[in-house]
Structures are given as C-alpha cells and as structure tokens.
Chains A and B, each alone.
Chain A
Amino acid sequence: MNTGLIIFFALLGGLLLWGILLYNQLVLLKNNTAKAWSNIEVLLKQRNTELPKLIAVCKEHMEYEQTTLQKVMEARNRVVSAMQFGNMGALEAADNALRIGLGNLFAVAEAYPELKASESFQHLRERITGLEDSIADRREFYNDSAALNNTRIEQFPDLIIAKSFSFKPFRLLSFKSEEIADVDVAAHFTAGT
C-alpha cells in the first residue's frame, strides 16, 4: 500500500473518530439534561409528600380558611398529575399556582398563634422552605443543562450529527417575574419566626 492511500485512510479514520466524539458528546449532554430534570422531580415528589401533612396540621387550627387549604391541595394534585403525564407546560402552571397558594397559606397562618407555635407546623414549614429553595436552584441547573444541549445541537458541525440522529431541544423552565414576586415563600417564613 502506498503512502497516499495510507494518508487517505488515516484522514477518513480521523474524521470518523471526530464524528463518534461529537455524537458521544451530544448523548452526554442529552443525558445530563434528563438527569437534571430527574433532580427536580425528586424534590417535587418530596414536596408533594410533605404537603398533605402540612395541610392536615393546618386544618386542625384553621377553621375559616378551608378555601386557601383547598387551593393548595388542588394545585398539588395538578402538579402530581402533570408529573405523571410528563406535561411540562401544565407542570409549570401548576407549580406556579402551588407556590402562590403556599405563599397565601403561610401569610394566613400568621393569624393563628397556636398553629405558629406548633412544632409539627414549624418543622413542615422549614422542610418546605428548604425544598422550595432547592427546587429553585435545581431548576436553574436544569435550564443550564438544557441551554447547553440546545446550543450544541444548533451549532456547526454538531448540527449535522444532531439532525442525522434526531437530537431534540429541551424546553426551558421559565417563570414570569411577577409570579416569582408573588410567591416569595421565604419572606413569609421569616416574617413568621
């Protein structure tokens, strides 16, 4: 075999290796994003488990606030249902409604000194605040992962591989600024302590 032919095959082999490397990187980005989403899901499930306990504690003391409690539970059920069907749009809306509902619930709880003094209520309040903060951080992490994935599959030469193997962009989780302002749960907590 002459040198020219060896060089031709070496170039071909090199290009093939580059292609494999790019493909593997796109797979890694896709898996990273999927994992970032499951990171949020774990916390959403934890919060969904804690919420009925919180509502049960509140029900004992809040006789005249049944509508507020009902709204929180309805939003929580919508979150659970959206998670089951993997509906990101519905999940965003339900999560916003839940955060608003929780904000209202903790604001109302200020008027019930016995409830505020309850150890179970305080513990659940702390747990849910912690979970809310972590969900916010992990949502940012998910958005970073998704943005990196989405940028790569639109860039040249990665888009050739992405189009050939049908890599899809991920939806970013966006929250309107007024919604964030409305549901400052942490502020309610600090006001209560």
Chain B
Amino acid sequence: MWMWLRTLLPEPEQVAPFAGDADGINWYNVAQNQRFAVLRKGGLMNLASTWRFALFWGAGCFFLAQQVGREWLLLPALASLWFALGLYRRYRLIVDTPTSRLSSSAQGYVELSGTAALPDGESSRGLPHLPVTVWLPGYVEDQPFLLEDAFGRCLLYPQAAEIVTRTGDNHLFLLHAIYPGQTLYALGELRTQRHAHSNVSQERRERLAVLLADWKRDDHTLLQNFDADGNGQIDPDEWQNVLAAAQQWVDADIREQQRLPGTHVMSGAQAGQLFLITNIPPEQLARRYQWAAWLHTLAWWGLMAAAHIR
C-alpha cells in the first residue's frame, strides 16, 4: 500500500544549478525536496519510529478525543497496531538475517555491511557547492552506488529500496544524504552475475570460429606468422599450427575471464520482503525499531482502553 501512497507525494522540483543564492543553490528548493523525498524513500514506518512522530501522534489523539469523541480513538489504535507490526517486522529482519561476505557472496536474502562509494568513472555526484554524495534524496535517488567491504564490492540499485539516513554527518546538519566512505548497511536479495561456466565448450567453438575468421581477413599477418616454408600460402600442415595457436589463445582468454570476480548486485527483494539501505549502524536502527514497536503496542492498548472509558 505504501508503494501506492508514495506515488502521491510530490516529485522533486528541478533546481537550476546556478540560479539561486550567491553560492548557486536555491536552499528553499533543497529543503522542500528533502522533506518529501525523505518520506517517499524512507516510508511511513520510519517516520513512525521517530520521537517527533510520537509527539505528533499523542497530540493528534488528544485532539481527536476532545473534539470528535473518545470512541474515535479506535482508529489511531488500529494504526498504532499496524505501525507496531511493521516496525517489529523490520527489527526482526535486521536481527535475524545473517551477514554475507562479498568474498563468497552467498546468494539470496542477506545483509551486507561495508562502506559507500561512487561507481567507477564517477568522481562527483549531488549538488554543486555541496560535499560529494552517493545518494541525495530529492536529487540523486535512483542512480546505483557501491557498497565495498574488504573482499569485494556490490552495486546497489536504490530505486525500490527503503532508505533510512541520519543527519548531521557534516556541517550541513539537516541534510539527509549518504556520503562516500560512510558505513553502509544493506538488507535485500543479493545476486552475482558471473561469466557462464556451464556452456564453455559451445562458447569455445564459437569464439574459435570468430577468431579464425578474423585472422583469415588479415592475410598478410597470417602469412607472416604461419607460412613456415615461405611459399606464399598456408598449407594443410601450417593450418594445423594456425588452429592450435587460435585454440591456445581462446583457452587462455576463457581462463582469464573465469578468474575475474562476478559482479554482485542488490536491486530489490522477493515477495514483499524489505529492501533496506541505511547509513545508521544496524544495531542502533534495530533498537530504534524495537522500542518504537513496543511503544506503538502500548499506544494500541492505551488508546483502546481510553476509547472504552465513559
């Protein structure tokens, strides 16, 4: 349902990079884009796990009881139950999912931890005059970025991810962003795209044919390398040498490709499971979800009791 709700939130307003304040940024637009984007990417559940939300929730319930009637408290009570279940599920997923090392890259639903980095060939990302970011809500939301550990790298596609960030990682203390080098935690479906080993013989034949066709096109080089008796043509015996050399070349190339590590990718999760990316330490985030789940459970009970009191 939240996926549908998030589509209702306004899309970021485009910022003309050098049309704004003296430093080239329209700070009002930045703040506005961040506000909606944080909710759109982080989801309502993350909002429901904050202290600010608790205050807002308490005040809203008080207003409802005073102005509309106590029996109407059943509605926020049910919403609190929904928050409690969602937050408890998130807490359990973080605590109960084993960590995969990128060196062995166990496939399936796993958690990864490492540091954030920009993909190869990209040196800056984000807004001008701001520190380089790998993810900046409202501006750079869907471009992939890397999670690196000591043994490998995984490309994260954040389009379908729930992204929870903390603020205050630089002098722009209200900015929600993920910066290169920050500790990153990801929970989702890991798959590794590898050079196929299964059909090596067929691939070998095809590559051999392509290579030989390529060599045949360049008569001069072929004769120079393989015309042993210098009669200006490749005899059957000499052709066997050409074949052997081509086979050796293809085999060496296939071996080299097999040695290359696969590309690890995380782009979602199966069947409604959570795909989470965060720069908050997982223990801290799990604790936050756990407390918020219990508080919402208490709110559920409390609000139902309050609705019953005459």
Residues of A at under 8 Å CB distance from B? 3-4, 6-7, 10-11, 14, 17-18, 21, 25, 28-29, 32, 35-36, 39, 42, 46, 123, 126-127, 133-138, 141, 144-145, 148, 152
Q: Which residues of chain B have C-beta atoms less than 8 A from A138's C-beta?
A: 104, 106
Q: Are A10 and B78 interface neighbours, CB within 8 A?
A: yes
**A3→B307 contact, CB < 8 A:** yes
What is the distance, in angstroms, from A131's C-beta to the closest C-beta of chain B? Answer: 10
Q: In the complex, what residue of chain B is closest to A122 when comparing beta carbons? A: B255
Q: Mask for B264-276, Cβ within 8 A of A = 1, else 0? A: 0000000001000
Asked if A29 contacts B103 (CB within 8 A), the reply is no
**Nearest B residue to A20, CB-CB:** B85
Q: How far is the CA of A140 from the CA of B51 in the complex (A)?
A: 38
| Further contacts, 15 of them, CB under 8 A, given A28-B109, A32-B96, A126-B259 | A3-B307, A7-B305, A7-B307, A7-B308, A10-B77, A18-B85, A28-B93, A32-B97, A32-B108, A35-B109, A137-B104, A138-B104, A141-B110, A144-B99, A148-B98
Q: Is the CB of A17 within 8 A of B96?
A: no
With contacts defined as CB atoms under 8 Å apart, how many contacts are there between chain A and chain B in the complex?
Answer: 78
> Per DSSP, are chain B's interface residues mostly helix, strand or loop, or mixed?
helix
Contact check, A141 vs B96: say whether CB atoms are below 8 A apart: no
Q: Which residue of A lies closest to B197 (CB)?
A: A46
Interface string of B65-87 (1 = CB under 8 A from A): 00000010010011001000100
Query: Which residue from chain A places its CB closest to the CB of B305 in the assembled complex?
Result: A7
In the bound complex, do residue A25 and residue B89 qualify as a contact, i.e. CB atoms below 8 Å apart? yes
Question: Contacts of A35 on B, CB cut-off 8 Å?
Answer: 107-109
Q: Tell me which residues across on chain B come within 8 A of A135, comparing CB atoms.
A: 104
B residues within 8 A CB of A18?
A: 85
| Complex CA distance for A180 and B98, rounded to whole angstroms | 23
Please determine whether A28 and B273 come into contact, CB atoms closer than 8 angstroms.
Answer: yes
Distance in angstroms between the alpha carbons of A29 and B89 in the assembled complex: 13
Residue of A nearest to B272 (CB): A24
In the complex, the chain A residue whose C-beta lies closest to that of B107 is A39
Are the C-beta atoms of B103 and A137 separated by less than 8 Å?
yes
Q: How far is the CB of A134 from chain B (nearest CB, A)?
A: 4
Q: Can you list 9 residue pairs at the A/B interface with Cβ under 8 Å?
A: A4-B308, A32-B97, A32-B98, A39-B106, A134-B104, A135-B104, A138-B104, A141-B100, A148-B96
Q: Measured between alpha carbons, how far is A162 from B252 in the docked complex, in Å? A: 53
Per the bound structure, the CA–CA distance linking A29 and B96 in Å amounts to 7
Residue in B closest to A32 when the chains form the complex, CB atoms: B109
Instruction: Output the residue of A136, A138, A152 with the most chain B CB within 10 A.
Output: A138
A10 to B305 CA separation, bound complex (whole angstroms): 11
Contact with A along B179-203 (1 / 0, CB 8 A): 0000000000000000001000000
**How distant is the Cα of A166 from the Cα of B74 in the complex, in angstroms?**
36
Nearest-neighbour CB distance to chain B for A188, whole angstroms, equals: 20
CB nearest neighbor in B for A43: B104
Q: How far is the CB of B62 from chain A (nearest CB, A)?
A: 19
A residues less than 8 Å from B103 (CB atoms) = 133-134, 137
B307: A residues at CB distance < 8 A: 3, 7
B74 to chain A, nearest CB (A): 6
Nearest chain A residue, comparing its CB with the CB of B256 = A123
